[in-house]
Structure 1
Amino acid sequence: MELLTTNNVWMMICTALVFFMHTGFAFLEIGLTRQKNTINILFKNIFIITVGLLLYYIGGFNLMYPGFADGSAGIIDFAGFGISAPENGMTPEYADGGYTWWTDFLFQGMFAATAATIVSGAVAERMKIGPFMIFTVIYVGLIYPIAGSWKWGGGFLDQMGFYDFAGSTLVHSVGGWAALVAVWLLGSRIGKFKNGKPQAIPGHSIPLATAGVLILWLGWFGFNGGSVLSADPELTSLTLVTTCLAAAAGGVIAALVSFIKYKNLDLTMFLNGILGGLVGITAGADVMTPESAIIIGAIAGAIIVFAVSFVDAIKLDDPVGAIAVHLICGIWGTLAVGIFSTNPEHTFLIQLTGVACYAAFCLVSSFLIIFTLKKTVGIRVSEREELEGLDAHEHGMDAYPDFRLNEH
């Protein structure tokens, strides 16, 4: 019982760290966007956490962990509404004594909300709040748990041997594919492209964005460290080492490649490089050597620089770089398991199959949700609302009422 208590305390600490990541996402998103949309972004972030947890209680947890029967196709199943602890839920018999049933629910619930937060940043400054809230309810309540069940719930991809330790694909790419579709259907912000060329629209607080990235890095100690699902000394410490090395390598290489390409030391590229490294290592943090982690992070950092310019080149407007960080580095990290994993059973082909399955499911489902919203209630604010700011028009508030900057 002492071991269960130790494991459970570690898992609760990790749950708190993953919860704290929402502060990081909020700071990053408001920092990289304009002052006039701050309240709007914060409102969306708070909505995602609160409603996400309630949805996960109502049905998400049992949709994600339905207990697929032997011989089941492992695609979709449901264990019923609400949650009630099984007889062994608070004993060492549950989950190999790694944690209790209640901790299991709460830890996984923190992950569920993250997928929609990724979309929030990508659609910032021009999406109506109502349709975004409807999208969040469907995507977090239904799409994410079904996708999660395929691997973490023991579904068909798990049976096939697909590996995603903490969610490079299951969390980050699931959010990233939806962000890609949303940005495409929304269109770019006014002034982002002039004569076909992308224009920089600077964020209003780079210090806040920097704080956000550092908070996210701290939160990743729980995101990856908790995914060991116990306080196993060797695995938790290895996981934290690979996580931090990949983050560091991602940041340094992104800054370096960005300097070579653009001849300036771009802090935002440095920050997104750190996040790219973190997303990249998340799929295999427990099965990598420190050297492999540095390589994976470094490649993710280089990918960020080229991915951001590629997203601009195809006329997609992603204010915070969510598609480059979460989608493209998420795909890279998942495939990297098939290249660098210390477990010979992890193969590139199976990892690629998993990526393709999630791509198809998330692209189709997010398109159906957002396209339907676009054709019925509309998803884009008016030109006047966009120019004057969503804070004033959708919330009737100002984030900094005594400190108004002149904005163009």
Structure 2
Amino acid sequence: MSVTASQVHGAVQTLTQSSDTLFLLLGAIMVFLMHAGFAFLEVGTVRHKNQVNALVKILADFGISALAYFFIGYWVAYGANFFADAQTLSQGNGYELVKFFFLLTFAAAIPAIVSGGIAERARFYPVLIATFFTVGLVYPVFEGMIWNGNFGLQAWFESQFGYGFHDFAGSVVVHGVGGWIALVAVLFLGMRKGRIRAGKHTNFAPSNIPFLALGAWILCVGWFGFNVMSAQTLNGISGLVAMNSLMAMVGGIVAALIAGKNDPGFIHNGPLAGLVAVCAGSDLMHPIGALITGAIAGALFVYLFTYLQNRTKIDDVLGVWPLHGVCGAWGGVAAGIFGQTALGGLGGVSITVQLLGTITGIAVALIGALIVYGIIDKMSGLRLSEEDEFNGADLAIHKISSTSED
């Protein structure tokens, strides 16, 4: 029995499709696991009376994010919906469905980032409403601009400067947008009670360093799915992305170790700062450029978080604005610097475009967050009552403590 060329081609195509589907599914699972990292990072940082709330918020946010992105956000970003029959949806081994799952885990990172900034004093359901609109509308607007060419922004960049805005895995699209949205939410909520005593700033110590460390480790491991599998196909996978992610992580660790003077909170957030910053240019940079990018991010996080906590009224509990907002913006610009062939990169990127694209992402995040959180704050309020905040979100919202009293 002879095998025709078309049969061989069909078999190869089926194998390729199924392999790409499995590849992206594994990436989606790895990034989904990162949400456990967000949860434990927050659990280890907040005080004991708010640990249950931290866990519940992250999972509830993911559920609301899935609904918002399924029915609205994915359509806004990519012009696609899921209202066809199951047979149509499952064509190509269901690759498009798995792609949605993968991109959903990115979208759901937005409220997970915000959660760490507003911890210990935010009301539960108003925050979930904010999650629905930020994931359903605010984030997809910029996501679609950069990753789907919506509104002609990328076309304009290319016509004016010769290159589009490059953000391979979301330094700006995901982390930058999430961090700047969080800043707005933090400012609306104000400082936690007890942070100012006798006219001086008082910092609340992390409640559980092992949980904080566990969260950081989970995030670090999952991040290789976040970055490497942003290629979205086996054919596009690059060992350079993995190497650059590793080196940026190492740069963040060492910089935070030195700048943070052995503080365990800084040391475990340092690698996350490096990984945030390298997302955009991880497919372009030389590993030494990635190392420098991560080191600058690690130092930026330590110094800016210290300044915020000790000198301002911006009470960002986990430091998500410096970690994701500022380091994400730095990553967008760094891709334009260390992606240049003169610095060992692969080229094909413009510093000017990287700067303009980063500013655009910040603007979309700030304007969108001001509208969403401003309206919700006016309609229902965002903050717990003083009594509920004193008792803790665990008892006030969930009627249970993280530890049993024998």
Q: Give the TM-score normalised by structure 1.
A: 0.88
Residues 1:123 and 2:118 aligned together: yes
Q: Distance in 2 between matches of 1:84 and 1:143?
A: 29
The 3-state SS of whatever aligns with 1:232 is: helix
Residues 1:336 and 2:334 aligned together: yes
Partner residue, 2:295: 298
1:1-400 equivalences under 5 Å are 1-66=14-79, 79=80, 82=83, 90-91=91-92, 100-155=95-150, 156-159=152-155, 160=157, 161-232=164-235, 235-259=237-261, 265-312=262-309, 313-341=311-339, 342-400=345-403
CA shift for structure 1 position 40: 1.3
Look up the equivalent residue of 2:348 and give its one-letter code.
E
CA shift for structure 1 position 198: 2.4
CA shift for structure 1 position 117: 0.7
- Alpha-carbon deviations, 1:250-303, whole Å to 9, x = none? 0111110122xxxxx101011111110010001111111111111111111111
Cα gap change, 1:353/1:53 in structure 2, threshold over 3 Å: closer, same or farther? same
The 3-state SS of whatever aligns with 1:91 is: helix
Look up the equivalent residue of 1:271 and give its one-letter code.
H
CA shift for structure 1 position 82: 4.2
Look up the equivalent residue of 2:153 and give its one-letter code.
L
% same residue: 36
Look up the equivalent residue of 2:396 and give its one-letter code.
H
Q: Distance in 2 between matches of 1:236 and 1:53?
A: 29
CA contact (8 A) 2:74 2:81 kept: no
Q: Distance in 1 between matches of 2:83 and 2:116?
A: 30
- Alpha-carbon deviations, 1:150-201, whole Å to 9, x = none? 0112223332201111111111111111110111111111111234532220
Q: How many residues align?
A: 379
The 3-state SS of whatever aligns with 2:234 is: coil
Look up the equivalent residue of 2:249 and give its one-letter code.
A
Q: Distance in 1 between matches of 2:101 and 2:126?
A: 27
CA shift for structure 1 position 84: 6.2
Look up the equivalent residue of 1:30 and give its one-letter code.
V
Cα gap change, 1:384/1:88 in structure 2, threshold over 3 Å: closer, same or farther? closer
- Alpha-carbon deviations, 1:324-353, whole Å to 9, x = none? 110010000010011011243311111111
The 3-state SS of whatever aligns with 2:238 is: helix
Look up the equivalent residue of 1:14 and give its one-letter code.
G
- Alpha-carbon deviations, 1:219-265, whole Å to 9, x = none? 101111110111237x4322111111111110111110122xxxxx1
Q: Distance in 2 between matches of 1:394 and 1:203?
A: 21
Q: Distance in 2 between matches of 1:309 and 1:133?
A: 29
CA contact (8 A) 2:53 2:398 kept: yes
CA shift for structure 1 position 59: 2.1
CA shift for structure 1 position 91: 3.5
Cα gap change, 1:284/1:89 in structure 2, threshold over 3 Å: closer, same or farther? farther
Look up the equivalent residue of 2:243 and give its one-letter code.
V
Could you list the runs of 5+ residues in structure 2 that have no partner in the other structure? 1-13, 158-163, 340-344
Could you list the runs of 5+ residues in structure 1 that have no partner in the other structure? 67-78, 93-98, 260-264, 404-408
Q: Distance in 1 between matches of 2:330 and 2:86?
A: 37
CA contact (8 A) 2:64 2:128 kept: no
Look up the equivalent residue of 1:393 and give its one-letter code.
A
CA contact (8 A) 2:20 2:95 kept: no
The 3-state SS of whatever aligns with 1:51 is: helix
Q: Distance in 2 between matches of 1:82 and 1:322?
A: 36
Q: Distance in 1 between matches of 2:397 and 2:315?
A: 21
Look up the equivalent residue of 1:168 and give its one-letter code.
S
The 3-state SS of whatever aligns with 2:206 is: coil
Which one has a bigger Cα radius of gyration? 2
CA shift for structure 1 position 314: 2.5
Look up the equivalent residue of 1:240 and give its one-letter code.
A
Cα RMSD, aligned residues only: 1.9
Cα gap change, 1:85/1:226 in structure 2, threshold over 3 Å: closer, same or farther? farther
Look up the equivalent residue of 2:31 and give its one-letter code.
V
The 3-state SS of whatever aligns with 2:401 is: coil
Q: Distance in 2 between matches of 1:210 and 1:393?
A: 27
